[in-house]
Amino acid sequence: MDEFGLTADGSDDGTFVPFTDILFNALLGLAVMVFMAFALINPEAKTGVVDVKAEFIVTVQWPDSNPDDVDTYVEDPLGNLVWYHSRESGFLVLDRDDRGNYRDTITVNGKQIQNPLNQETVTIRKIIPGEYIVNVSHYIANTTEPLPVRVKVEKVNPRLTVVYYGTITMDHKGQEVTAVRFSVDAEGNVSDVNTRPKSLIQAVRKPSAGNAPR
């Protein structure tokens, strides 16, 4: 018999089997520990990712770098209304209030630069059956030129569709225009898209509302 437990004729006398079992178990244990180590490693955090629940998105834009201030007003079927003084109401959220060039800067590589984008966004985060109204107001007119304002309403679910897209020309301070009115049923179907005028500023500027200009 040699040192590996083999007899002279090359057969195994059984002493080699425990050694192979121990070696196999050690390798198996190592593999399990490696697997657990990878499983416990935290994935790299994703920055700048925002998961926002929305059914409709209202976007109001006017020319880049224009100094004028355009405000967005959106009212839901229950009378909830968002604008710059009340940025959340019911399931309506004014995600961005843009004031033209006023305090409109961003930091790039440690330097403050002027953000040219003029855009306001309102999200409708749950469907309430009834009529929605979208108005725009020329709050501050720093120029005398007519101002083209683009208004877009998008339905997000179950797929992205455009409910309304149009351009309104605004030409004086304080001008309010109903960009679009549309109705939604309980299933999210849109109907009666129109531009019948209705003032939303009158409702929020009533003395009883306690709202003051910014």
Measure the N-to-C terminal CA separation of the chain; round to a whole number of Å: 99
**Sheet of strand 161-170, all strands in order from the earlier edge strand to the far edge:** 88-89, 92-96, 118-124, 56-62, 147-155, 161-170
Q: Please give the distance of CA 179 from its chain centroid, rounded to a whole number.
A: 22
Classify domain 56-207 at the CATH topology level. Lipoxygenase-1 (2.60.60)
pLDDT at 14: 53
Dihedral of the alpha carbons of 85, 89, 91, 96, in degrees to the nearest 10? 10
pTM: 0.68
3-class SS at 119? strand
pLDDT at 48: 46
Structure tokens at 136: 């725009």
Write out residues in the chain with pLDDT < 70, as ranges: 1-52, 98-108, 111-115, 206-214
**DSSP states along 71-117:** EEEEE-TTS-EEBTTB-EETTEEEEE---TTTT-EEEETTEEEE---
pLDDT at 96: 78
d(Cα 37, Cα 31) in Å, to the nearest integer? 10
pLDDT at 127: 95
**Sheet of strand 130-140, all strands in order from the earlier edge strand to the far edge:** 81-82, 69-75, 130-140, 176-184, 190-194
Q: Count CB neighbours of 71 within 10 A.
A: 22
d(Cα 17, Cα 153) in Å, to the nearest integer? 74
Strand partners of residue 152: 59, 165
| Every domain of the chain and the residues it spans | 1-41, 56-207
d(Cα 161, Cα 51) in Å, to the nearest integer? 19
pLDDT at 119: 93
Residue closest to 203 by CA, chosen among 93, 116, 115, 86: 86
pLDDT at 144: 85
Structure tokens at 2: 């040699």
pLDDT at 141: 85
pLDDT at 41: 56
Each residue's pLDDT tens digit, 99-128: 645 455 556 677 666 667 889 999 999 999
Each residue's pLDDT tens digit, 124-143: 999 999 999 999 999 888 88
Peptide bond into 63 cis (omega under 30): no
pLDDT at 146: 94
Give every CB contact of residue 159 below 8 A, 6+ residues apart in sequence. none
